[in-house]
């Protein structure tokens, strides 16, 4: 087995992981940045299309306190305000730093263009045209990473477990996907930055790598998860006709710039029936829109594929081309002409507010173990503002990287035996004979993952209730304890997709159980957690929920919300 | 490929199988045809329904953002996520100018982002 040694190991090479690597390297640390896919390409960052919120005030007077106010409002009482504070206060510097690094934010010379997005009271969201924010950000950071000789970049390494010694992180075990060999890493600190987990839901906007790897690694290492019940569903994900070459959340920028009418299967506007205002253009908030679309479907008034119609037919061809030139061409490639047809949209899982519990230095309760980006829980509370995900990746990456670099060498020295033990622990399930040989041989990890995605979508999605959550929890426990242990990946060495799927599915099962358990304990409706049988918010639950492993099982507990130690209103008024 | 799949129509994919230094062969898979579907959709369908060991690279699933799914389709270098599935026989091969790893997976990792000890 090969062995590598470094100061800081960063797991995941999206915006958060790359920013963390650069900051750790600037602080003088030796860094290894690895990704199970390719550096900068495999996660959510490269798929981001539009908005990056930061109070740089280039279009309207703005201040980070206003951004913080909007973020906390949107979080409905559950934001870890100390994390939200870091996010909003530091975002402007990061945007300008990225400009210096030639990201190419849309601009009028010195002024970066900023647009309004739902939940923000001020034009605050930067972007790169046309719908090119993610690729531009990924390219910029990949270039910055390459400038640092003390960052070793490794594509194609799947981290399968962390190595913990004397209650602190000491390294990790990786699988080299190209060869099927194990690789061991010794590190003083590890930054988990492998993204979110929306792949757990049948309808999602995730890449295939977003199945909760960071969360599962953290849990197994003894760290806590927080706010796992809060999954953001994007209301108008693309549903039909088949559209390739575009991210399914592409219709939101259309809506910001051009409006658009949301219609049910009978061609009627319906948002008003749910207490929203729609009028001529579609401007209603995300949660209400998602709710209304699914309720129309339940009542038999959905569009043919189980969603709603989104129509831009009131617009002229020139208007569409003026606003989205190259995108209109991509639509034509898919035989879609918005002047002649409506498209079908439906809610899809898009972002996860919950994640790994960290302190203000992005460190978990396991010494030396940090997290950054979407896999961090807390900054966005019960609902995330549009545009907060990318700055969160920059800011938290920066904080995690610079703090990870400060971790002093521990007394831990890892022997070969330590790694052998870690591998047998990580892969232990595969060393046992299958638990049930009676299951049909056709059962695969992928098949199980699809079953899980449907359970999560149908029972733990936009519309939840006590019964559905209980049913999901029972089903997931059965899959985890009875079905999964009977599955054996196919033997193989080079690019063994069967083993990769098995590892992904194991992580996803842990995360699904964590989400379900947390959702079943929160007996109220708040933000993205909507219970149809308990439709009210309850003060009793103005608390964060922690999920951790106790005696080999997931357990839930509650903690007080972290509040700011200054008066935000006062501070905000002082700068107006 | 969802409910719209028309069972009467088929696409036939003739796919290179093998690893570096081992015997290689072509294997034919019949996949249901769906209007507008991509070759990547069909490859994922094969993984889900016929053979979980067929290897090809992809992350972003049809958004053409990760750019990992490049391969040779009927002799042309294409992104599998952008190439529309056709109701005929197509031949899929790994990129010719890259080192073969397995099936449709080649070494497209930039030299300075590769694993080395």
Residue A22 in this model has a pLDDT that exceeds 60: yes
Q: Identify whether the C-beta of residue A506 lies closer than 8 Å to the C-beta of residue A541.
A: no
Phi, psi of A21 (to 5 degrees): -65, -45
Q: Identify whether the C-beta of residue B25 lies closer than 8 Å to the C-beta of residue B18.
A: yes
Q: Are residues A370 and A488 in the same domain?
A: no
Residue A571 maps to a domain: no
Of residues A535 and A414, the one with the higher pLDDT is A535
Q: Are residues A356 and A452 in the same domain?
A: no
Residue A508 maps to a domain: yes
> What is the structure's pLDDT at A34?
98
Of all residues in chain A, the percent with pLDDT exceeding 90 is 82
**Which domains are assigned to chain B?**
6-106 (3.10.20.30)
Q: Are residues A76 and A165 in the same domain?
A: yes
Number of domains in chain A: 3
Q: ipTM score of the complex?
A: 0.94
Which of A148, A341, A494 to probe the B interface (max B CBs under 10 A)? A494
Residue among A32, A405, A20, A40 at smallest CA distance from A185: A32
User: Which of the four pLDDT bands, split at 50, 70 and 90, describes residue A571?
Assistant: confident
Q: Are residues A46 and A170 in the same domain?
A: yes
Q: Are residues A82 and A215 in the same domain?
A: yes
**Given CB atoms, is A180 within the 8 Å cutoff of chain B?**
no
Section A14-24 average pLDDT: 98
Residue A563 maps to a domain: no
Residue A298 maps to a domain: yes
Residue A574 maps to a domain: no
Percentages of chain A per state (helix, strand, coil), in multiples of 5: 40, 20, 40
Residue among B101, B67, B82 at smallest CA distance from A177: B101
Nearest to B59 among A42, A157, A244 (CB): A42
Q: Are residues A178 and A293 in the same domain?
A: no
Nearest to B102 among A135, A240, A494 (CB): A494
For residues A320 and A333, give the distance between their C-alpha atoms in angstroms, rounded to a whole number: 16
Q: Are residues A401 and A453 in the same domain?
A: no
Dihedral sign (CA B81, B83, B89, B91) = negative
Q: Identify whether the C-beta of residue A124 lies closer than 8 Å to the C-beta of residue A55.
A: yes
Residue A561 maps to a domain: no
Q: Are residues A142 and A9 in the same domain?
A: yes
- Which CATH number belongs to the domain containing residue A341 in this structure? 3.90.700.10
Which parts of chain B fold into alpha helices (H)?
A: 39-49
- Which CATH number belongs to the domain containing residue A477 in this structure? 1.20.58.100
Q: What are the DSSP calls for A241-252, one per residue?
A: S---SS-TTTHH
Which parts of A334-465 fold into alpha helices (H)?
A: 389-406, 416-426, 428-431, 445-459
Residue A76 maps to a domain: yes
Q: Are residues A186 and A287 in the same domain?
A: no
For residues B36 and A14, give the distance between their C-alpha atoms in angstroms, rounded to a whole number: 30
Burial of A300 (0-12, 13-18, 19+ CB in 10 A): exposed
Q: Among A17-26, A140-149, A560-569, which stretch is predicted with the lowest mean pLDDT? A: A560-569
Q: With an 8 Å Cβ cutoff, are A244 and B112 in contact?
A: no
Chain B residue closest to A306 (CA)? B3
Residue among A336, A177, A137, A156 at smallest CA distance from A254: A336
Domain boundary residue, one of A394, A416, A438: A416
Q: What is the pLDDT of residues A349-397, one digit of tens each?
A: 999 999 999 999 999 999 999 999 999 999 999 999 989 999 999 999 9
What is the pTM (predicted TM-score) of this model? 0.96
Residues of A in contact with B4 (CB under 8 A): 240, 242, 305
For residues A545 and A534, give the distance between their C-alpha atoms in angstroms, rounded to a whole number: 18
Q: Which residues of A450-474 are buried (b: 16+ CB within 10 A; e: fewer)?
A: ebbbebbbebbbbbbeeebbebbbe
Section B29-54 average pLDDT: 95
Q: Are residues A220 and A250 in the same domain?
A: no
Q: Are residues A451 and A360 in the same domain?
A: no
Residue A575 maps to a domain: no
Q: What tokens were used for A46?
A: 């490269």
Segments forming the whole domain that contains residue A259: 234-347
Residues of B in contact with A18 (CB under 8 A): none
User: How would you classify the pairing of strands B76-79 and A52-53?
Assistant: unpaired
Q: With an 8 Å Cβ cutoff, are A183 and B115 in contact?
A: yes
Q: Are residues A331 and A472 in the same domain?
A: no
Domain boundary residue, one of A317, A347, A377: A347
Phi, psi of B84 (to 5 degrees): -75, 140
- Which CATH number belongs to the domain containing residue A171 in this structure? 3.50.50.60
């Amino acid at each position: 087995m090969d062995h590598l040694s470094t100061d800081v190991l960063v797991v995941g090479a999206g915006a958060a992981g790359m920013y963390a690597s650069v900051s750790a390297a600037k602080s003088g640390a030796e860094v290894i940045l690895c990704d199970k896919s390719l550096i900068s390409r495999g996660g959510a960052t490269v798929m981001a299309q539009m908005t990056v919120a930061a109070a740089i005030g280039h279009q309207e007077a703005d201040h980070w306190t206003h951004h913080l106010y909007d973020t906390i409002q949107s979080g409905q009482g559950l934001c870890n305000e100390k994390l939200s504070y870091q996010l909003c206060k530091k975002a402007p510097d990061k945007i300008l730093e990225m400009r210096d690094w030639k990201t190419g934010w849309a601009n009028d010379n010195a002024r970066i263009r900023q647009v309004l997005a739902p939940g923000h009271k001020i034009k605050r969201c930067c972007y790169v045209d046309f719908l090119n924010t993610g690729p531009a950000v990924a390219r910029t950071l990949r270039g910055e990473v390459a400038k640092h000789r003390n960052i070793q970049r490794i594509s194609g390494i799947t981290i399968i477990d962390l190595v913990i010694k004397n209650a602190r992180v000491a390294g990790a075990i990786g699988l080299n996907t190209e060869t099927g060999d194990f690789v061991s890493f010794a590190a003083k600190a590890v930054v988990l930055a492998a993204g979110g987990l929306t792949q757990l839901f049948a309808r999602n906007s995730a890449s295939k790598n977003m199945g909760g790897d960071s969360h599962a690694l953290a849990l197994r290492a003894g760290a806590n998860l927080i706010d796992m019940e809060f999954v953001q569903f994007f209301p108008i994900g693309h549903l039909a006709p088949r559209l390739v070459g575009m991210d399914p959340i592409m219709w939101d920028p259309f809506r910001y710039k051009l409006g658009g009418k949301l219609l049910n299967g009978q061609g009627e506007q319906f948002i008003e029936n749910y207490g929203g205002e729609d009028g001529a253009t579609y401007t209603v908030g995300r949660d209400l829109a998602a709710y209304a679309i699914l309720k129309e479907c339940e009542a038999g008034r959905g569009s043919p594929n189980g969603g709603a119609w989104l129509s831009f037919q009131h617009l002229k061809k020139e208007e569409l081309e003026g606003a989205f030139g190259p995108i209109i061409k991509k639509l034509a490639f898919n035989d879609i002409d918005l002047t002649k047809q409506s498209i079908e949209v439906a809610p899809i899982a898009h972002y996860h507010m919950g994640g790994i519990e960290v302190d203000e230095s992005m460190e978990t309760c396991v010494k030396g173990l940090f997290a950054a980006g979407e896999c961090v829980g807390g900054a966005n509370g019960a609902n995330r503002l549009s545009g907060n995900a990318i700055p969160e990746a920059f800011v938290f990456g920066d904080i995690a990287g610079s703090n990870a670099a400060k971790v002093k060498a521990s007394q831990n020295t890892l022997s070969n035996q330590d790694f052998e033990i870690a591998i047998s622990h990580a892969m232990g399930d595969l060393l046992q004979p299958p638990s049930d040989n009676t299951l049909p041989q056709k059962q695969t990890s992928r098949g199980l993952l699809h079953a899980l995605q449907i359970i999560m979508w149908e029972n733990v999605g936009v519309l939840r209730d006590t019964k559905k959550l209980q049913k999901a929890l029972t089903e997931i426990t059965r899959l985890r304890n009875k079905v999964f242990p009977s599955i054996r990946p196919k033997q193989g060495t080079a690019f063994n997709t069967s083993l990769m799927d098995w590892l992904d599915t194991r992580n996803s099962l842990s995360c699904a159980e964590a989400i379900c358990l947390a959702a079943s304990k929160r007996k109220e409706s708040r933000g993205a957690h909507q219970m149809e049988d308990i439709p009210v918010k309850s003060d009793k639950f103005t608390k964060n929920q922690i999920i951790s492993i106790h005696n080999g099982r997931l357990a839930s507990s509650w903690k007080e919300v972290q509040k700011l130690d200054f008066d935000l209103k006062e501070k905000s008024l002082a700068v107006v | 490929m969802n409910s719209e799949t028309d069972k009467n129509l088929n696409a036939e994919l003739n796919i290179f199988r093998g690893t570096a230094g081992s015997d290689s062969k072509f294997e034919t898979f019949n996949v249901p045809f769906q209007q507008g579907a991509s070759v990547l959709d069909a490859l994922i369908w094969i993984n889900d329904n016929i053979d979980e060991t067929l290897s090809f690279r992809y992350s972003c699933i049809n958004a053409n953002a990760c750019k990992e799914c490049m391969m040779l389709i009927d002799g042309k270098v294409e992104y599998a996520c952008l190439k529309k599935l056709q109701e005929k026989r197509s031949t899929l091969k790994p990129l010719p100018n890259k080192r073969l790893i397995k099936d449709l997976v080649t070494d497209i990792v930039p030299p300075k982002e590769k694993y080395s000890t």
